[in-house]
């Protein structure tokens, strides 16, 4: 094999590796996921893929809020932190009316062991906070776009770098997927906002495929048993 052939072979291996690992750093262990510095004030870096996805446009896994593995159906009967209804919470409960036997713990944010981003990707990663989503929205421009046939939202920072979040929709009872290629439904790490303190809900980000990005940071919340996607963040 001559020098030119060797170079071509090496290039082919690099291309093959890129296709295979998708959102994973080339030449590094698969646990080293890629992130993008969008020039945000806090220095937060956003992952290029959802948890469970290998490419930016892949939907990845669907997780109930506070659970770390996808499952076949999503409802209160199999939600990890309740005895089966929205008024029998056993963790992450701020209102005794929703806690089993009046239980409360005051926890508003996901603990690392309940964070799908941390558990599946490692301790440097986490599900974005409500404020991190807000920062992303306020410090980037957003545009609806299509990537490899998948509708999604492109967030472009002031430094010119961008991330693509697919419209993955959500999953509810019997694992029925709703809104795929129509809207993005992503969890935050926050249980609920001050203006919507329903203890059976968790804060989420929602954006749809119209001409104007629709993202709310106050009233958009959902029953936490629902299966939604997660786009991790990291600081370093």
One domain, residues 65 and 182? yes
Same domain, 112 and 26: no
- State whether 7 and 78 are in the same domain: no
pLDDT value, residue 222: 84
Whether residues 120 and 211 share a domain: the answer is yes
Same domain, 8 and 81: no
Query: pLDDT per residue over 168-215, tens digit each?
Result: 988 877 667 888 877 888 999 988 766 555 666 777 777 666 555 556
Q: Is the pLDDT of residue 116 over 90?
A: yes
- Helix H or strand E segment including 36: strand 35-37
Are 76 and 109 within one domain? yes
Do 78 and 179 fall within a single domain? yes
Q: What pLDDT digit, counting tens, does each position of 48-107 carry? A: 999 999 999 999 999 999 999 999 899 999 999 999 998 899 999 888 888 999 999 989
For residues 14 and 108, state if they share a domain: no
Token pair, residue 13, equals 């291996």
113 and 8, same structural domain? no
**Residue 141 burial by CB count (10 A; 0-12/13-18/19+): exposed, middle or buried?**
exposed
Q: Distance between CA atoms of 215 and 192, rounded to whole angstroms?
A: 16
**Which of 230, 211, 235, 205 is CA-nearest to residue 59?**
230
Question: Which of 82, 116, 111 minimizes the C-alpha distance to 200?
Answer: 82
| Residues near 103 by beta carbon (within 8 Å), at least 6 away in sequence | 89, 90, 93, 96
Tell me how many domains the chain contains.
2
- For residue 13, the enclosing domain spans 1-32
**Same domain, yes or no, for 47 and 79?**
yes
The string of pLDDT tens digits covering residues 139-153 is: 999 888 999 999 999
Do 67 and 82 fall within a single domain? yes
Using an 8 Å Cβ cutoff, are 157 and 38 in contact?
yes
Read off the pLDDT band of 20 (50, 70, 90): very low
Residues 14, 77: one domain?
no
Residue-wise burial string across 76-85, b where 16 or more C-beta atoms lie within 10 A, e elsewhere: beebbbbeee
Overall pTM > 0.85? no
Tell me how long the chain is. 236
CA angle 163, 17, 2 (to 5 degrees): 135
Long-range contacts of 85-94 (CB under 8 A, 24+ apart): 86/200, 86/223, 87/200, 89/199, 89/200, 91/66, 92/66, 92/191, 92/224, 93/199, 94/191, 94/192, 94/197, 94/199
User: What confidence category does residue 29 fall into, taking pLDDT thresholds of 50, 70 and 90?
Assistant: very low
In the block, which residue shows the tokens 């004030």?
41
pLDDT at 27 over 50: no
**pLDDT band for position 122 (cuts 50, 70, 90):** very high
């Amino acid at each position: 094999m001559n020098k030119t052939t060797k170079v071509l072979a090496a290039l082919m291996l690099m291309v093959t590796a890129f296709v295979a690992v998708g959102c994973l750093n080339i030449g590094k262990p698969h646990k080293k996921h890629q992130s993008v510095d969008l020039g945000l004030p806090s220095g937060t870096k956003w992952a290029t893929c959802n948890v469970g996805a290998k490419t930016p446009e892949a939907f990845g896994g669907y997780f109930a809020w506070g659970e770390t593995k996808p499952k076949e159906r999503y409802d209160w009967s199999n939600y990890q932190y309740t005895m089966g209804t929205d008024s029998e919470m056993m963790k992450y409960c701020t209102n005794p009316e929703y806690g089993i036997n009046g239980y409360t713990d005051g926890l508003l944010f996901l603990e690392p062991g309940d964070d799908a981003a941390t558990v599946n990707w490692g301790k440097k990663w986490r599900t974005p906070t409500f404020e991190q989503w807000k920062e992303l929205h306020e410090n980037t421009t957003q545009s609806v776009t299509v990537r490899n046939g998948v509708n999604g939202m492109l967030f472009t920072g002031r430094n010119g770098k961008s991330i693509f979040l697919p419209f993955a929709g959500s999953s509810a009872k019997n694992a029925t997927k709703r809104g795929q290629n129509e809207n993005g439904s992503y969890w935050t790490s926050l249980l609920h906002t001050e203006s919507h303190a329903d203890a059976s809900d968790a804060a989420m980000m929602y954006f749809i495929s119209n001409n104007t990005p629709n993202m709310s940071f106050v009233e958009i919340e959902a029953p936490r048993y629902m299966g939604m996607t997660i786009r991790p963040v990291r600081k370093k």
